[in-house]
Amino acid sequence: MIERIRVKRIPKRGHYDRETIDAILDEAIICHVGFAVEGQPYVIPTGFARVDDVIYIHGSAASRMLRELSKGVDVCVTVMILDGLVLARSAFHHSMNYRSVVVLGKAELVTDETEKLNALEALTDHFVPGRWKDVRPPTELEMKATSVLKLPITEASAKIRTGPPVDDDEDYVLDVWAGVIPISLKKGEPIPDETR
């Protein structure tokens, strides 16, 4: 295990097996990409998809984030799935149940056209499974206007918190509701586009 991805705060919540990491990456829809430009830090939210041992992100070829990342700078990609709000008897012990992943490394620009097209298919189907087969594929101009980067999943860790609140012993006698309020992200009823 590489030291820089080891979970230090409450290490028992850390997970380093790819099965756990991949499951979280496959369920999450949005990632946050952290990087620095001339010493100035940035964190940008974006869509992503995992294919085997790689995370793909995409965007406009004019995107500053994608241009900077394609230079081989250090990058940190994070995802988090919120599963519940943990309400304790004291404000101090309030928490959240969550599943998160941190991936460190250097992203590289995808230049192979077949890999790029496959990555765009994976991104589309990550948002809505099977969607790629229903839509028009990108034109040559659209492919040129789009950059795709890949980040190998070689340095990654997951951190997971589950369960009820953990109060101090003396607080269990307080007449205050405590427990977990479950939270989940779910897709609603599709709203059709009426434009013709």
Give the tens place of pLDDT for each residue, 8-28.
888 899 899 999 999 999 999
pLDDT value of position 123: 97
pTM of the model: 0.92
pLDDT value of position 86: 98
pLDDT value of position 64: 86
Which residue from 191, 179, 158 is spatially nearest to 11, judged by alpha carbons? 158
Decide: 108 and 116 in contact? Cβ < 8 Å.
no
Would you say residue 2 has pLDDT above 80?
Answer: no
Would you say residue 5 has pLDDT above 90?
Answer: no
Side chain identity at residue 63, one-letter code: S
The tokens for 148 are 């795709």
pLDDT value of position 130: 96
What is the percentage of the chain residues whose pLDDT exceeds 90?
80
pLDDT value of position 3: 81
Q: What is the mean pLDDT of residues 20-41?
A: 94
What is the average pLDDT value for the chain, to the nearest integer?
Answer: 94
Residues 6+ apart with CB under 8 A from 6: 14, 157
Side chain identity at residue 155, one-letter code: E
What are the tens digits of pLDDT across the range 117-142? 999 999 999 999 999 999 999 999 99
What are the tens digits of pLDDT across the range 68-91? 888 888 999 999 999 999 999 999
The tokens for 119 are 């990555």
Which residue from 79, 71, 80 is spatially nearest to 147, judged by alpha carbons? 71
pLDDT value of position 144: 93
**Between 176 and 70, whose confidence is greater?**
176
Q: What is the mean pLDDT of residues 105-111?
A: 94
Which residue from 60, 36, 96, 132 is spatially nearest to 46, judged by alpha carbons? 60
Decide: 103 and 77 in contact? Cβ < 8 Å.
yes
- Grouping H, G, I as helix, E, B as strand and the rest as coil, residue 138 is coil
Would you say residue 1 has pLDDT above 60?
Answer: no
Question: What is the DSSP pairing of strand 14-15 with strand 30-37?
Answer: unpaired
